[in-house]
């Protein structure tokens, strides 16, 4: 193993940890902003945030195992990865479904979409009779 490779192996987990901290802060900022503005589809991002938290848990368990504080079996890492990938796939499919629904709504004819969006008004029988007389 060359010296550069060794150095990268030592340093990389630490700056990865710093980047994960930045990612978590940005996620919290995103959720706060969305709570104020309600713009865009946020569900896939919530799923991604959960996946990042699972990644952090896996990293913490790896560090605890390497420092011999808490020895979690190796095969549990596989479960963590499966959970993360399942969340990623769910996020992607959720966004695809959202796009499909949005495109369907955009392709609706204007009259039909107005009908769908207009609130239903109840007309009293008297008002209906008056309207009929006026027409005559």
Partner 1 sequence: MLTVIDWIYGTTQLAAVFLSIIAGLIAISMYRHTRKHLELAPWNYLIIVLVFFAGIEVLGGLAVFGVYRTPHLTHVTASVALGFLIAALIRKIQVTKGWLE
User: How many residues contact partner 1, by CB under 8 A?
Assistant: 41
8 Å CB contact between 30 and 45 = yes
Which among 58, 53, 49 has a CA at the least distance from the CA of 76?
Answer: 58
Which among 81, 82, 37 has a CA at the least distance from the CA of 59?
Answer: 81
Choices 28-36, 63-71, 109-117, 120-128 (CB under 8 A): range interacting with partner 1: 28-36
The CA-atom distances, in angstroms, between 93 and each of 41, 56, 87, 90, 97 are 13, 24, 10, 5, 6
Which among 25, 73, 16 has a CA at the least distance from the CA of 49?
Answer: 25
74 interacts with partner 1 by CB under 8 A: yes
116 interacts with partner 1 by CB under 8 A: no
Report, in Å, the least distance between residue 114 CB and partner 1.
24
By CB under 8 A, name the binding residues for partner 1: 5, 8-9, 12-13, 15-16, 19-20, 22-23, 26-27, 29-30, 33-34, 37, 39-40, 42, 45, 48, 52, 73-75, 77-79, 81-82, 85-86, 88-89, 92-93, 95-96, 99
């Amino acid at each position: 193993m060359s010296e550069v490779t060794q150095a990268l192996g030592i340093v990389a987990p630490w700056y990865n940890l710093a980047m994960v901290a930045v990612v978590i802060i940005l996620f919290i900022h995103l959720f706060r902003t969305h709570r104020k503005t309600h713009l865009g589809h946020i569900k896939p991002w919530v799923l991604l945030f959960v996946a990042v938290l699972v990644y952090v848990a896996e990293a913490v368990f790896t560090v605890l195992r390497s420092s011999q504080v808490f020895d979690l079996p190796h095969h549990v890492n596989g479960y963590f990865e499966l959970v993360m990938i399942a969340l990623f796939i769910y996020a992607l499919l959720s966004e695809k479904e959202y796009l499909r629904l949005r495109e369907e709504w955009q392709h609706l004819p204007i009259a039909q979409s107005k009908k769908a969006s207009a609130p239903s008004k109840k007309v009293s029988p008297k008002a209906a009779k008056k309207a009929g007389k006026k027409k005559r």
